[in-house]
Amino acid sequence: MLAPLRSTAAPYAAMVMDARTGEVLHSRNADTRLHPASLTKMMTLYVAFQAIERGEITLDTNVRISRLAASEPPSKLGLRAGQTIKLRFLLRAAAVKSANDAATAIAEAISGSEEAFAERMNRTARAMGMRNTAFRNANGLTQAGHYSTARDMTLLGRHVIYDFPQYYNLFSRRSADAGIATVRHTNRRWLNSYEGADGIKTGYTRAAGFNLVASAQRGQERIIATVFGGSSTASRNARITELMNMGFQRAPSSATIRRPTPPAAMVAGAPTPGKNVRLTGLVSTSMRPVARPTTPAAPEANILIAAVEADIINAVVAQAVEAAVSDAIANILPPADTTTQTPSVTPVARPVSTEAVMLAAATQPATIVDTQPEVVTRISTSGGRLWGVNIGRYNSRYDAERVLLKVALSEMSALDGALRRVVQRSGGFDANFMGLSREGADLACRRLQARGTTCFMIDTES
């Protein structure tokens, strides 16, 4: 049984969930509306991942920093108004360091303003079923009307894990290159101390207290635990450890994973979720295609064409037979005596058609040639760097290899020559296609996304 929490300025709330099934294993004040603080950035990053998947923005998009973003209070990356920085660095700073300036810059880059981005966050929250959440900004700084609950944040954490496994590793990085600085994780102490811990997000303001949504995986079991209103980092981590231990004790050792249904990207002007659009205009009659008019050839022309075709065929066959007989005689007769001088005869070259070569090759017996293996070197068009495509993170190597094979068969043209590679990470097994040029990886990823397959480009520098 959990020990009573010391009195704090912020109300206490908690929830424990089996991430595989969504089953709630423990809750306390789980639907009380409280200040989420930087737990908000989970939704900021989730919407950013959606925008990348939809092609609205890329990881390498250069984002210009506004005065508003640069003026946000700590925690911050230290961005300056007017500078440009790649989106990938802003994502790392927001996820790892919980940088407020980076979160605001992400919002403005995707929606044009933080207000418009907050509206998109709210639409996404409603589509997820987060019934007691309202966002007013992208970073979680205290603002009137900005609130959430332990239940809603636990639900959001589960979506982050299962909807974007290719990006989830951001939340477990102890440090990361954020372009202008190396940032360190805000909760690396708990990540290092708890077995299987791999995220997700911390949050603190004076009004909220010390908040945390955490996840850990042990074998096939994964638990998500949420705490609102801790009195300090140490007490919050102690409480989350107790909740996690409770979750692993109560969760079954094996369970069928029931992934949450990802919400549609809630961009401005998008159709309302659940609204059916019925298309009309069915074809009532099927018109028979009209044959293309042709000019009949004269009988004399037909006869002439047939004769020419027959001559060509006879010539090809004759050349092939003659070449085959010559080769056969050369193989049967003994080698010529080099001591006896004979008059040299210069052979007369004659044209041989492609058809003759093919026919002669078909009539000759197969010859076994002992050759060394040929080494093929791939030439990269991206300055010597090899690129790849990641199509997701899976719970087992078998699942990752199976998906790689399925995708390779469905996109043989775009992934021609790519190497299938499974890389084990702390959160699972990454399914990658490697050995592509930058242009080839970009084309392959776009074609996969058009088919509904989640993917993103990777390179040796990422």
Could you write out the DSSP letters of every residue in 367-385? Answer: -----PPPP--PPPSSTT-
Give the residue with greater pLDDT, 122 vs 369.
122
pLDDT band, very low/low/confident/very high, at 326 (cuts 50, 70, 90): low
- Position 224, amino acid: I
Domains (range + CATH), the chain: 13-250 (3.40.710.10), 387-459 (3.30.70.1070)
Q: Could you say which of 38, 66, 111, 148 is catalytic?
A: 38
Burial label for 295, CB within 10 Å (0-12, 13-18, 19+), is exposed
Query: Quick one: pLDDT at residue 115?
Result: 97
Q: Is the dihedral of CA 95, 99, 104, 106 positive or negative?
A: negative
Q: Is 156 helix (H, G, I), strand (E, B) or coil?
A: helix
- Distance from C-alpha of 434 to C-alpha of 457, rounded to nearest angstrom: 10
Q: Is the pLDDT of residue 111 over 90?
A: yes
Residue 394 and residue 402 in contact, taking contact as beta carbons nearer than 8 Å: no
Q: How do residues 227-240 score in pLDDT, each as one tens digit?
A: 999 999 999 999 99
Task: Render pLDDT for 241-253 as a digit per residue (tens, 0 to 9).
Answer: 999 999 999 999 9
* Token pair listed for 373: 């293996």
Please give the pLDDT value at position 2: 53
Of the candidate ranges 103-112, 176-185, 374-383, the one whose mean pLDDT is the lowest:
374-383
The pLDDT score that the predictor gives to residue 7 is 40
The Cα–Cα gap between 458 and 440 comes to: 12
Phi, psi values for residue 53, rounded to 5°: -60, -35
Mean pLDDT for the stretch of residues 15-43 = 97
Q: Is 41 a catalytic residue?
A: yes
* Between 240 and 360, residue with greater pLDDT: 240
Average pLDDT over residues 50-64: 96
Position 231 scores a pLDDT of: 94
Check residue 322 and give its pLDDT.
56
pTM of the shown model:
0.60
Least confident of 63-77, 166-180, 334-348, 436-450: 334-348
Question: Active site includes 410?
Answer: no
Of the candidates 66, 75, 98, 148, the residue annotated as catalytic is: 98
> What is the pLDDT at residue 267?
60
Chain-centroid distance of CA 127 in Å reads: 22
Question: What's the whole-number mean pLDDT along residues 156-163?
Answer: 97
Lowest mean pLDDT among 68-72, 110-114, 119-123, 353-357: 353-357
Is residue 38 annotated as a catalytic residue, yes or no?
Answer: yes
Give the angle subtended at the CA of 274 by the CAs of 268 and 275, to the nearest 5°: 75
